[in-house]
Amino acid sequence: MGDLVQIDVWLFHLINVDWQNDWLDQLMPIWRNKYFWGPLYLFLISFVLINYPKKGWIWLLALMLCITLGDTVSSKIIKKSVKRLRPCHSTNFQPDYHLGVVCGSGYSFPSSHATNHFAVALFIILTLGTSFKWIRIPLFLWAASIAYGQVYVGVHYPFDVLFGTLLGIGIGTLVAFLFLSYLKKRELSWG
């Protein structure tokens, strides 16, 4: 376990210190902010409800379930059980570490940003991505860049983000499966 922690801290230093640059210093605090993506979320909701008037509401409920599950499992269950300090709260936080945002008050493992964004991305990829195949890679890169930003700004270790990513992928896949199974059971097509 000690070796994994050392690798995690080494990767954190690599991303948070060695790979710092002025452009990302300006971008990442905004990019990882959930309010920055408000217009995208509103567009997505409008698009689905306009193009899928009956099934769109079911899709929207499934998307909300995805976010609720991701946030509950990561923040309220795992974080409170593991209780890993954020790098910015750690006594090992070095003077050369870069803190690009206000350090959150909660625990670090897993990253809820990574969990939620990957859950949403996978859900959309597995539902809307069946009709709009071109959105698959951009959605995955979107979630990955936000997860990366968590380490870049100094609020999570890389393994926090990695576990959050895997958790989000699992939740997004599960909710997409449930959504598509529900439609199939009712003989409703999607896409």
pLDDT digits (tens, 9 = 90+) for 167-190: 999 999 999 999 999 988 887 776
* Domain-wise residue ranges, the chain: 2-185
Tokens of 145: 């860049």
pLDDT digits (tens, 9 = 90+) for 37-82: 999 999 999 999 999 988 899 999 999 999 999 999 999 999 999 9
User: 2-185: which CATH number, 1.10.3720.10, 3.40.50.720, 1.10.606.20, 3.40.50.1110?
Assistant: 1.10.606.20
pLDDT digits (tens, 9 = 90+) for 112-140: 999 999 999 999 999 999 889 999 999 99
Q: What's the pLDDT at 1?
A: 67
Cα 95 to Cα 120: distance, rounded to the nearest angstrom: 35
Instruction: Find the mean pLDDT for residues 145-173.
Output: 97
pTM for the model stands at 0.92
